[in-house]
Amino acid sequence: MTLRRIAALSYAIISLAVVAFQIALAAGAPWGAFAMGGAFPGQFPPALRIAALVQAALLLAMAAVVLARAEVMLPKWSRVSRWLIWFVVAFAALSLVLNLITPSADERAIWAPTAFLLLISSGIVAFTRSSERATR
């Protein structure tokens, strides 16, 4: 298995964990201290529960882009994944910065390392050559 595929699968697995967290927040889990800078400890208010579901959907879409770019799945996304991967990398970089500067120490302790791993794994997928081009 190539480094690119390992990175893509790592990105997808980590993303699934974050998606599960977002769905739990949307369902009313009292984990608000670990999100949104800790501004809403306990359960999220209704508007933020909807936002958590939107974020979960975005995370799933970005994982699909990473997997497509690494040629793990969705071969028809190959062309569009060439430029969408850079959105994923930029999102991961922004997420890392925001999680490093959050006022919530609990949030920073969990999500900064998570965002770092997502940035590294998406970066590997973005910067490494596909197996098709590497063998030419």
Q: Considering the domain boundaries, does residue 135 fall inside one?
A: no
Task: Say how many domains are in the chain.
Answer: 1
Which residues are CB-neighbours of 123 under 8 A, at least 6 positions away? 89, 92
The total of other beta-carbon atoms located within 10 Å of residue 94's CB is 12
**Predicted confidence band of residue 129 (pLDDT cuts 50, 70, 90):** confident
Q: Considering the domain boundaries, does residue 106 fall inside one?
A: yes
Q: Considering the domain boundaries, does residue 90 fall inside one?
A: yes
**Predicted confidence band of residue 79 (pLDDT cuts 50, 70, 90):** confident
Q: Considering the domain boundaries, does residue 136 fall inside one?
A: no
Q: Considering the domain boundaries, does residue 85 fall inside one?
A: yes
State the alpha helices, DSSP H only, in 71-130. 78-101, 105-127
Q: Considering the domain boundaries, does residue 83 fall inside one?
A: yes
> Are 66 and 85 within 8 A, CB to CB?
yes
Range of the structural domain that residue 79 is part of: 3-130
Q: Considering the domain boundaries, does residue 88 fall inside one?
A: yes
pTM: 0.88
d(CA 74, CA 96): 27
Q: Is the pLDDT of residue 135 over 60?
A: no
> Are 118 and 91 within 8 A, CB to CB?
no
Average pLDDT over residues 110-132: 91
Q: Considering the domain boundaries, does residue 115 fall inside one?
A: yes
d(CA 117, CA 114): 5
d(CA 85, CA 50): 26
